[in-house]
Amino acid sequence: MDQSLNPAYAVDLDAPAAHDNNQVDSKTIWQVITASSVGTVIEWYDFYIFGSLAAIIGPVLFGHAGKIEDSLLGALAVFGAGFVVRPFGAVFFGRLGDMIGRKYTFLVTLLIMGGATFVTGLIPSYDTIGVAAPIIVVVLRLLQGLALGGEYGGAATYVAEYAPDKKRGYYTSFIQITATGGLILSILVIVITRKTMGEAAFKEWGWRLPFLLSGFLVIASYYIRKKLHESPLFAKAKATGTTSKSPLRDSFVNPVNRRLVLIALFGVTMGQGVIFYTSQFQAYSFMNSTLKLDIIDSSTILVVAMVLATPLFIYFGSLSDRIGRKRIIMTGMICGALFTIPLFYGIKAYAGPLTEITPATVDAAGQAVPAVMKALAPNVFMMTVLTFLLVFFVTMVYGPIAAYLVELFPTSVRYTSLSVPYHIGNGVFGGFVPLIATSIGVWAAKQPAGTFSKEHSSLLGLVYPVVIALICFFVGMALMKDTRNVKLMDK
């Protein structure tokens, strides 16, 4: 067995062993956090790279025959498909994690995720292989979603089962940074590649490079993760024969555990998912596709806002160890519901007027080619401030949530029980925010004159995440119980 972690806390899976996670030394915990987080950042990078490039890869892999907005919606739909299968990945890999072990399960998810992303960068264009291109994209996207469905639960559970009871919010909050870190990494890689090789070359073939980079990142992450030992609490449970023989039945048929799963979904993760994806993905898509900002401006705004907000994940995770998870999560939830639409209106106002840089024309086939519009004078500083406020609400909801979910369920079914509501809330409800919000905006813009003002139609889709967040707030306030500082036990 690899002794790269402190051998005093390595547990022999074949022999009974007692373990108290309050006695694990900080060096071991930080090794665990680092190895878990590095891999999770890369997996989020892999998942986000597709959404970040949706506007470019849509025409390449889904064909040029349709309108630009149709290819964008097609790419966003495939992006969303990856989220739909995340709960199934949570069920499949959660079961493996609760029966076989945390470590080996999220090694498998890492390889599937990275492999699918790497191959995406090799897919020939629609013009070359026709309908086979989008079919391959969909298959790979589904594999990504399945893998990510098993990743978060494994990383969060693994870190939490090492962390001391009174600092679990603090230590697990480092896992919460990984999603934002993956998005930041994906944006930086795209912007650097795009600017280095030029716009024309990037749209033609350079967009493939961020996907291909994933292969090298995954190899490095796999090597780091392979050095980890199994979670001490799971190792003890396996050694003493107290692991679940049927994690799915014990998670969803057992009425007590099933009730906790439903509270986690409708009272926490559903609202957290829409707030997370609205503040980052929808904001980025809105600035690029609707407000027509230059890619450098929109990327600067989002990356700076997220970098400034990142320490707050740690702050609110640590704060939840002292004052409780519920009040922080619910405060972020209601703030997101109340202030998201006003903040988007502010972002739109500070983007400035659109300027026509290429006039409308008619192509050789007689098809109308719309004018190319750009926002040439955005107030980047104020847009960054408003975007930071959106992400600020995310840090309140998301920072303590891993600790809350881990503490809600027993060791025997923890991986499965927390993964499923998390990925339904984030995947189904949160992951479809860009598609639903953009679709509603496109629909509103096509309505007869006077139905919706031009000012409001592009923001109409934000009603969806706001309503979901409000529902989650009221359910959470009524049914969510605080879990801080509990001792993780099997029963």
Q: What pLDDT does residue 453 have? A: 65
Backbone φ and ψ of 254, nearest 5°: -60, 120
Cα pseudo-dihedral 56, 61, 66, 71, rounded to 10: -50
Q: Which of 7-11, 35-39, 83-87, 199-203 comes out lowest in average pLDDT?
A: 7-11
pLDDT at residue 260 tops 60: yes
Fold of 26-479: Growth Hormone; Chain: A; (1.20.1250)
> 270 pLDDT band (50/70/90 cuts)?
very high
DSSP state of 399: T
Share of the chain above pLDDT 70, in %: 86
| Span between the terminal Cα atoms of the chain, in Å | 30
The span from the CA of 471 to the CA of 457, in Å, is 24
The whole-chain average pLDDT of the chain stands at 81
Q: What is the pLDDT, as a whole number, of residue 13?
A: 32
The whole-angstrom separation of Cα 164 and Cα 488 is 10
pTM: 0.80
Measure the CA–CA gap between 331 and 337, rounded to whole angstroms: 10
CB 101 within 8 A of CB 230: yes
CB proximity list for 51: less than 8 A, separation 6 or greater:
76, 79, 281, 434
* pLDDT at position 47: 65
Q: Is the pLDDT of residue 164 over 90?
A: no
The domains of the chain are located at 26-479
Characterize 49-84 residue by residue with b for buried, 16 or more Cβ atoms within 10 angstroms of its Cβ, and e for exposed.
bbbbbbbbbbbbbbbeeeeebebbbbbbbbbbbbbb
CA distances from 311 to 170, 176, 333, 395, 396 (A): 11, 11, 19, 9, 11
pLDDT higher than threshold 90 for residue 460: no
Q: What pLDDT is attached to residue 67?
A: 54
Structure tokens at 263: 């509270």
Q: Cα separation of 348 and 325, whole Å?
A: 33
SS (HEC) of 180-220: HHHHHHHHHHHHHHHHHHCHHHHHHHHCHHHHHHHHHHHHH
pLDDT band at 263 (very low <50, low <70, confident <90, very high): very high
Q: How far apart are CA 209 and CA 195, in angstroms?
A: 13
